[in-house]
Amino acid sequence: MTMLEIIEKKKLGGELNEQEIIFFARAAANHSVPDYQLAALLMAIRLKGMTDRETMLLTMAMRDSGDVADLSGIPGIKVDKHSTGGVGDTTTLVLAPLMAACGVPVAKMSGRGLGHTGGTLDKLESIPGMRVELSEDEFIRQVKEIGLAIVGQTRHLAPADKTLYALRDVTSTVDSMPLIVSSILSKKLAAGSDAIVLDVKTGSGALMKSMEDSLTLANTMVEVGKMAGKPIVAVISGMDQPLGTHVGNALEVREAIDILAGRVKGDLLEVSLLLGGYMMMLSRKTVTPEAGAALMRQAIESGEGLKKLKEMIAAQGGDPRVCDDPERLPQAAVIRTIRCEEDGYVQAMNTTGLGLAARDMGAGRTKMTDQLDYSTGFVMKVRIGDRVTKDMPLCELHARTEEDADRAAAQVRAAVRIGPEACPRARNIIAVVIGDYAKNAEARQ
């Protein structure tokens, strides 16, 4: 078997067998074939597609290309959550402490932000002293002791994906459905979870802009999970505006703290409770997601959710006092309120544009080596569907310099459309996929 033979087979639309797919994944992991051959096969997959079985086999081969975490020492069913990426998407920092407070262990490996999307690790590192790199023994011990740990992925987790992901970015194959599915699920399965809840974003700030593509991705991942023996629930949620009102690392930590303290409700809480409800159901803590969400609400009211966040921060070397005094988080040098400057209704937002505005202020990266300014970002004061007047606040900017604030103000204004006609509010939860889409997708108004 040679790489050229595999490329030729897929180029002509053939279905790859298990041995051919394992050869491909191992070659990507150990660099035993040239990048140009890997790239050629990626393009053939992009143009000819893969069956669900091929996608499942590629997912498992990529998972097995490196280490697979062993979480068997942690009692209970371990359920992971993954988002396809968005702006103001702080669900992990809200639902993970709530899950732990409800008795469901959370052993989570997360990533960093790139481009217009934020990363959970970057948000955590805005907390003074916070460590996100733990050994496997430290990681498992912490989850056993306090029920919660959020850390970075090891270098040896799904190394085939690291190679292929970089090649996809420079060969125009990022939008291949089988490659998206195998990339996401190989890392999640390698992280050792027993079940997975996926948050598939759709809209102007999402990887998948159209509902059709989002449904296809959700349904494919659920089906591949089923074939791989892993229960998966996929929630399709809206990204036509930032999920939370706060965008930027320390600002998003502050919003998570406010939610866990019971001071704030809104869209971020709604989506977090739904995702957590399904995590509770998959962990068999509750029979329905609604019952799981109810337990999470109780954990907010009792203060147990915020207590768990404090415990995790302290266990990972951070300053837990930020939970009682968020002013201990990094503070921006320039804080400026910009106004709507016209009467009407907020009709639409370019969420990607808003994410890029935060990135350009120092809250995000254009390449992984960029250094972040954890204090920067903005707080949106309006939502789609709001009636506004010209003197009302549109956004509160947190910037390094006045020049940064000027540029960000222009970017935010360009990303928010205000018009005279009333319009409906953006939907947060659009569908839930739990198997055969035709039978189980739950459309929500």
Check which CATH number belongs to the domain holding 18 and give it: 1.20.970.10
Question: Does residue 424 belong to any structural domain of this protein?
Answer: no
CATH of the domain at 310: 3.40.1030.10
Residue 36, amino acid? Y
CA distance 410 to 130: 34
pLDDT at residue number 444? 38
pLDDT in tens, 139-178: 999 999 999 999 987 768 889 998 998 898 788 888 899 9
Verify that 206 and 86 share a domain, yes or no: yes
pLDDT at 345 over 70: yes
Tokens of 18: 């298990």
Residue 44: inside a domain, yes or no? yes
Residue 129 in contact with residue 255, Cβ under 8 Å? no
Burial class (CB in 10 A: 0-12, 13-18, 19+), 440: middle
- pLDDT score of 436: 46
Helix/strand/coil for 257: helix
Give the CA distances from residue 305 to residues 157, 215, 290, 341, 415, in Å, rounded to whole numbers and listed in that order: 30, 32, 18, 39, 34
pLDDT at 414: 97
What mean pLDDT is predicted for residues 416-436? Answer: 90
Q: Is the pLDDT of residue 229 over 90?
A: no
Mean pLDDT of 390-417: 97
Evaluate whether residue 74 is within a structural domain. Answer: no
253 belongs to a structural domain: yes
Amino acid occupying residue 323: C
**Quick one: pLDDT band at residue 329, thresholds 50, 70, 90?**
very high
> Domain limits at 367?
330-419
Q: What is the mean pLDDT of residues 20-36?
A: 95
| Mean pLDDT value across residues 394-421 | 97
pLDDT score at 398: 98
Could you tell me if residue 203 is left (phi over 0), alpha (psi between -120 and 50 degrees) or otherwise beta?
Answer: left
Does 303 or 436 have the greater pLDDT score? 303
Provide the domain count of the chain.
Answer: 3
Judging by beta carbons within 10 Å of its beta carbon (0-12, 13-18, 19+), is residue 407 exposed, middle or buried? middle
Q: How confident is the model at residue 309 (pLDDT cuts 50, 70, 90)?
A: very high
Per-residue pLDDT averaged across 94-110, rounded? Answer: 93
Are residues 398 and 262 part of one domain? no
pLDDT value at residue 435: 65
Query: Which residues are catalytic, by number?
Result: 82, 161, 168, 183, 187
Q: Is residue 445 part of a domain?
A: no
pLDDT computed for residue 54 by the predictor? 96
The reported pLDDT for the residue numbered 109 is: 86
> For the chain, what is the mean pLDDT?
92
Q: What is the mean pLDDT of residues 38-43?
A: 96
Whole-prediction pTM value?
A: 0.90
Lowest mean pLDDT segment, chosen from 120-124, 229-233, 263-267, 431-435: 431-435
- What pLDDT was estimated at residue 35? 94
pLDDT of residue 174: 82
Is residue 110 situated within a structural domain?
A: yes
Distance, CA of 101 to CA of 307 (rounded, Å): 8
pLDDT at 442: 43
Is 183 in the same domain as 237? Answer: no
Q: Is the pLDDT of residue 207 over 90?
A: no
Residues 215 and 108 in one domain: yes
Q: How confident is the model at residue 114 (pLDDT cuts 50, 70, 90)?
A: low
**Mean pLDDT to the nearest integer, 228-247:** 93
| Together in a domain, 289 and 354 | no
Are residues 411 and 292 part of one domain? no
Name beta bridge partners: 202: 208, 238
